[in-house]
């Protein structure tokens, strides 16, 4: 089944190239639902970044996700639910989770909760908790509803690398054999905020598109969590060119140029625009062949925390082509 799905896609690829040269081989939502039902993985758009989706009930399909990403199997995956799929099936819920879900779902928020027995060990890496998101992107919702079951979906990039915000980026990361539903560029552009709601006070595990301020407005002051997740690896989101983060990129550029280095600058934009452009720009600048990328820190009161978090990890992981990221 797997092999025939792949050869069909290659065939489709050739046909489409004849029709529109340069266009990407993508699949419809209906095709994608069939492939998922056959145990294959499919990349699809969410409003944050593209996800690499697989049937959350299928250990084999989930194993393929880890293999394609080159991701260690003890790094847990986010379970994605459609609007009609009850949270209670997967997690033991509580007041904080209900309040945050009511405020931000569907949307760029993921909640860590105690899991039910329906959640496979392959999803959580053996943890007793599960991370759950209800995405808002219409194509993600159509896919969940056409498939009819929960999907696991990590970001559709190789482990430790820059996340994909366009279908072409998924291809560049994961190759030709992965079917992609093309939803155009992601509108948010950085990953969901992950909030641990298992403790006495909710705690942010990964800053993201929903800001600390927005979350505190719903549940009050946040606590801290000692849970360590792959999105909080010191090196992550990394371009292959060396990257430095600076509050004054022009001064940094002058210094570097004086040393004979070729530089490219990623300038800050207003928060939402910077988040939306961040990964595509890192990819583009990474392809220029310069010696160093200089990224301007964000001063945005809301999205700045998440943008600067990604930049700091990209800085630490950058310039290490061929090496695996470490914690």
Residues that bind ligand TXA (CB under 6 A): 46, 48-49, 51, 75-78, 110, 112, 124, 127, 129-131, 133, 153-155, 191-192, 194, 205-206, 227, 229-231
For the CA atoms of 159, 162, 167, 170, the dihedral, rounded to the nearest 10 degrees, stands at -30
Asked if 192 is part of the footprint of Mg ion (rule: CB under 5 A), the reply reads no
On the 0-12 / 13-18 / 19+ scale of CB atoms within 10 A, 262 is exposed
Whether the CA torsion 77, 180, 324, 318 is positive or negative: it is negative
Which of ligand TXA, Mg ion, none does 281 bind, CB closer than 5 to 8 A by kind?
A: none
Total residue length of the chain: 327
User: Minimal CA–CA distance to 8: which of 177, 181, 180?
Assistant: 177
Closest by CA position to 262, among listed 288, 237, 283, 301: 288
78 binds, among ligand TXA, Mg ion, none (CB under 5 to 8 A by kind): ligand TXA
The answer to whether residue 241 forms part of the interface with Mg ion (CB under 5 A) is no
Helix (H, G, I), strand (E, B) or coil at 55: strand
Residue 179: φ, ψ to 5°: -70, 140
List 129, 155, 198, 308, residue binding Mg ion (CB under 5 A)? 155
Stretch of 138-146, 153-161, 201-209, 318-326 lying at the interface with Mg ion (CB under 5 A) = 153-161
Minimum distance from CB of 258 to ligand TXA (Å)?
39
CA distance linking residue 155 with residue 184, whole number of Å = 16
Select from ligand TXA, Mg ion, none the partner in contact with residue 256, using the beta carbon and a kind-dependent cut-off of 5 to 8 Å.
none
Number of residues near Mg ion (by CB under 5 A): 1
Of 51 and 202, which has the nearer Cβ to ligand TXA? 51
Measured distance CA(190)–CA(194) in Å, rounded: 12
In sequence order, which residues have a C-beta less than 8 Å from that of residue 125 and are 6 or more positions away? Answer: 73, 74, 75, 76
Q: Which is nearer to Mg ion, 49 or 139 (CB)?
A: 49
Q: How many other CB atoms are found less than 10 A from the CB of residue 13?
A: 15
Question: Which CB sits closer to Mg ion, 141 or 155?
Answer: 155
From the list ligand TXA, Mg ion, none, partner contacted by residue 65 (C-beta under 5 to 8 A by kind): none
193 lies in the binding site for Mg ion (CB under 5 A): no
Least CB distance to ligand TXA at residue 141 (A): 13
Nearer to Mg ion, 46 or 155 (CB): 155
- Residues that bind Mg ion in the complex, under the rule CB under 5 A: 155
């Amino acid at each position: 089944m797997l092999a025939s799905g792949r050869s069909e896609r290659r065939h489709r690829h050739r046909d489409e190239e004849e029709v529109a040269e340069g266009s990407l081989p993508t699949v419809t939502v209906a095709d994608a639902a069939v492939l998922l039902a056959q145990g294959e993985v499919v990349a699809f758009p969410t409003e944050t970044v593209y996800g690499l989706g697989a049937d959350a009930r299928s250990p084999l399909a989930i194993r393929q996700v880890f293999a394609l990403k080159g991701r260690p199997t003890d790094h847990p995956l986010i379970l994605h639910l459609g609007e009609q799929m009850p949270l209670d099936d997967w997690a033991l819920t509580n007041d904080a989770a209900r309040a945050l879900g009511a405020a931000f779902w569907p949307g760029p928020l993921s909640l860590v909760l105690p899991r039910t027995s329906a959640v496979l060990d392959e999803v959580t890496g053996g943890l007793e908790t599960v991370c759950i998101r209800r995405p808002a992107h219409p194509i993600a919702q159509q896919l969940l509803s056409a498939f009819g079951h929960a999907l696991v979906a990590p970001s559709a990039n190789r482990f430790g690398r820059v996340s994909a915000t366009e279908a072409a980026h998924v291809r560049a990361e994961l190759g030709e054999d992965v079917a992609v539903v093309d939803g155009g560029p992601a509108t948010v552009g950085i990953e969901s905020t992950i909030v641990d709601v298992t403790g006495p006070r909710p705690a942010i595990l990964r800053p993201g598109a929903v800001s600390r301020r927005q979350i505190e407005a719903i549940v009050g002051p946040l606590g801290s969590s000692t849970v360590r997740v792959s999105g909080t690896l010191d090196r992550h989101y990394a371009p292959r060119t060396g990257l430095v983060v600076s509050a004054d990129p022009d001064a940094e550029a002058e210094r570097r140029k004086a040393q004979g280095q070729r530089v490219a600058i990623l300038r800050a934009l207003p928060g939402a625009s910077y988040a939306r452009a961040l990964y595509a720009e890192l990819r583009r600048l990474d392809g220029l062949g310069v010696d160093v990328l200089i990224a301007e820190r964000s001063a945005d009161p809301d999205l700045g925390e998440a943008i600067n978090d990604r930049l700091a990890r990209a800085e630490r992981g950058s310039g290490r082509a061929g090496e695996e990221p470490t914690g």
